[in-house]
A and B are shown apart, each in its own frame.
Chain A
Amino acid sequence: MSKKVVLGMFAVVLVLTLLFSLTACGEKKVPAPDEAKQTEPSQKEVVINFPSIWVGKDSKANVFGSFVKEFNEKNAGKIKVVVEEMADYQAYRDKMKTNIAAGTVPDVFSFNNAKDSVLYYKSGNLMDLTPHMNGGWKEDFIADALKEVTYQDKIMAMPYEFAVTPLMYNKRLLDKAGVAEFPKTMDAFIEMAEKLKGQGVMAASQMTGENGWFSMLWYSHLLVAHGGPDVFDRGLDDPAFLEAAKSLKKLFQYTTGDAVGAGAAVAGGHFLSEKTAILVNGPWFIGRIEKEAAEGMYEQVNVAPAPTVAGGKGKQGYYVGFIQSSLAAAKQKDKAKEDAVAAFFKYISTPENVKRLSLDSGSLFVIKFKTDENDKMSHIQKQMIEQSSSAPSITKHFNAAMDTAVVTEFPQALSGMILGEFTPEQFVEQLKQKAAQ
């Protein structure tokens, strides 16, 4: 084949490729079937697409599935919610992020309230729920929860699942070590840790693998203990970040030898097999304690707020809690569809339904509901609700409050500090560098 022909062929292919890519980059969008008819009032059934993570083995799958079924039956012929099952949380997050960036937001979706969710609100692709909430619906919610999803005075999502992450302790192990009462101060905590160590038990499960979850929660508690509930408002320059780092480093003296590099499965497993006496985690772990813990341990697990520190600003009984998930919807031009989405949100957030979901799954919610003595509830969950209700403050955790780059660096900086690579000062500096990058 002559050189000329090859070059000609190359040119044709290049032009085709460029044309293809330029078309793909263009602003013009083929209207979705729903958008095409947006000017006409909807006569036929409104279909709401909902990619959901509350499916399969998720603790909420059973009751949430019933909600969708009941709602569809109640609105037969008018509204239909179609669930797209997505059991992989990370894949779900990535997909939603891509959809929002591309402007192809699903009708309804859920997300966790990390600091970066503000990017979703900024995208301008989400439905403003304010007009619907103003009709009295918002009275059902804990007021602070609505603040979390408000951007430029607009309620951009419906806060839903709530979680607290207190200290879950194994009373059986504490009794063996001669500790009658769970310590309220850090000094007493260290004293208890020494006693436990004497019994061959480590005080707390820690980890620096994955996202360092359990240790990140410990750090969050210690931050509040040192800096008070508004510690995150003051940023990484606040001395509390350094003091909490020093306290956390000390706590690593009372954990298992594999804590550096351990993931949640390993560190959580140590608590379940009674190698450690304390685990900081949320209500979703209750089911695992019930099913997988050492024999007779479940009844012995109790909940306590984290200890305070001498001279710290955190008041006795403080809690770390956060909105675990919220639901948002795509901006709709079809009023009927917008109303249908709002109706679905209202249905799944009625106090009665949320109570059903909470009692069945063990999860907590930002929608207020009442329980009575006949309600079957785990004693661990009950303690969490009682203690969080009377907590002087509930502060979000470190990962929810900080920039994603800082969150990603946390386990690396922590392992460096524990292994002596960094001083606590350098640990904080490492986080600051990532925040500034």
Chain B
Amino acid sequence: MDKLKLEILTPNGEIFNGEVVSVVLPGEEGEFGVLAHHASLSTLLEAGVIDIEKEDKTVESILINWGVVQVDEEKVIVLVEGAVAIRGDNESAIATALEDAKKLLSDIADSNPAIASVSAKIESAAQKLF
């Protein structure tokens, strides 16, 4: 399977950089998935969860509050304002990440109906990890 290069950057540094199989992004117009050789596209992202499918079939979730994505044939660059990766080696690390994610969500000022569904998605992502 072809792979694409994914970079996720926040003002505080790089949160993800590597080769992935596919990535699902929360676009303003709705969620969309990107595989290798996707047509060029630039669009805004809203608060939501980025699902990354890695080479070893594991899925990693990253919560973001705002972003812009630039897709071209071989790479995807995502610039986000705030992001929390929901990952960790043990339960306590995952729990901390979850706390951070919830904090980021509550920080998103305008009350957005989408946020409730995002919260649900984080919970389900966490369930898979535990």
Do A and B bind? no
